[in-house]
Structure 1
């Protein structure tokens, strides 16, 4: 053998020795027959309320550096505004919460425009209500412009709450597009959030971004967020300008709505989750839900008929019509707080998919909230 190859042989011998020792160790370990008796279910998980209380006591670090980093992004505000005026959308990505950054940009650079904020990290979002609000803002802007330029009143105010999604899109696309500086800016925290990441919602948001008087500024945090969109949505509809803006800020607000890994799934946790959702609803809706809880706790296991619920809510002056009650029930069903099942006599009944302990805790919390 050529002595020049001696170094190579030594390296090969060293690798072979390592491999031999590895498989020998595996073989000996297999013979021992020792297996761990620990199970994942044996872990003593903490109550979520206790865990969150302990987490809140953790002292934040590098606050000055984070504040300095956020301040450095202010130099980009004029560029971002220019790109919005040119018809682009802004997509912010990078590690850390971008909630403070986007809201600071909106409060300092978008004061001349209508601004609407969507918190995509919430458990549920009513996208139709978002479109109704945008339509109302643009209609008011159009009325003000027409009155200022001609001295005449605009056409009769439209009522958008009764219109379908397609009707709302027709209204938004039918607005005059000669004034590019008049638009509503939609700030979407976590456009990749659980309530927004389904295909239909992303299609609606993409169509909304196409409207001449709507601009979108959004943030993403999930590593696979770009998979939500196809080529047309990215380059034609959303028309994204991508910005890497890591903030390293903690996800304090966004993390409230996600269960902690080390927390158990006790009744207390279930109650907290339901209460977070209910706090997003109106006081009347919360009171209607209380009526359902009280009925279910009174040993009414089969649920509550809709007509019975309507009668009780009318007596308490919680609803004025069946349509009002139906809108509350739609919210409950969308948030999976209420489900429907057949009564023994064949009629549909409403029931809350929680155990008695969770219902009692939830009722106590609602009494202190409402």
Structure 2
């Protein structure tokens, strides 16, 4: 059903719109005119072959009077549960409008159309400052606990070069000098940011396969009252999607076990030696959080990362704060529900609704398409 105005109409995203949306994506986020065939194929896979595809919860396009697509909001349907109660959910991401000055209300109309959908709860974990302003004008503030991005520097010189290289590509040529500086500091024992040695913990962490990680994930997810309703098929699909985000490096799947063999913690992060690693997902029982963070930092250091960063998992914040971690705003989390009681686990930081449980599994966030 389309919402019509004189400037155009908001309607459901159809397969015939994929090429136009791919071009809009390239122009908005990659500053390129020509979309790659791999991006076109991925848009079809992510939005139309999604295991939780819902005919009533669809991505939206803004089509002008001449039917040209000039706006898009990507919508990923989700299945959550709150203490065993099934919930229909939807995540909104990748909102974009061509020539927003010429179409100043297109973004707001796309967001309004999304929020008017039949889902019990509407969420986004990747709102930029522009999108956040639209959510706030609609009366939905950001959630600080899930909006807290963080960075832990491990090798200062290399990390500084990596941050600079994100803005100035030629700075990558300085990487060898950064490694030399950090190596010299380590030899001189001038490494105040080196992570602490693993304590005499009773929790044992080990590398595992993607499949083993997938077996443990639902067990640990049961510690969070609001969580995804994964089954074997859907969880395998999300894990495979995440593993293919190779622009961040290669995934390291880790599980922590108690002395009796019970899984008590797990995390997956992406690593490329010398660069800043990226944490996709971490979850644990309450008394294992500190051990998880210590193992993550030590493991990333051992693999040669210059640092490690991630979006917020609120249950990690206390441990991160006590371990020389920098917090900053980059992307913002917002949640809306007609039944406000559904938001309580989010407000208390006890909802598994980010990372693999949110929308960060998709390659549209941060990956490249050749």
TM-score of the superposition, structure 1-length normalised?
0.23
Structure whose CA Rg is larger: 1
Relative to its length, the structure with more helix (as a share) is 1
TM-score of the superposition, structure 2-length normalised?
0.23
Relative to its length, the structure with more strand (as a share) is 2
